Copies of this chain bind each other. A is one copy, B any other.
């Protein structure tokens, strides 16, 4: 009856990140920071978990001499996100 909810996506911050990334071409660390309201530490950790899972790709570069972390959703991530949204319907269905 209830499909399993991908534990990686079933977390507020990671879901926020994915939700943002699914609707933009790419997003910088500071953009995600502002949009999610997370702390830098937490954001860093969760970005890495999503990256380890292959849900997003992370590019590290420099801009104006400062580090710049850019995130982009991967195909695997899009699929996982869609599956998650799909699975959730069973739970929310207030008929």
Contacts and interface: CB of A to CB of B under 8 A. Distances in A.
A70 interface: no
Contacts of A91: 15-16, 19
Contact of A93 (B19, B88, B90, B95): B19
State how many copies of this chain the complex holds. 2
A2 B85 CA distance: 16
A22 interface: yes
Nearest to A19: B91
Interface residues on A, range: 20 to 34
A13 to B, nearest CB: 9
Interface string A6-24: 0000101001100100110
Contacts of A93: 19
Interface of A: 1-2, 4-5, 10, 12, 15-16, 19, 22-23, 35-37, 82, 85, 88, 90-95
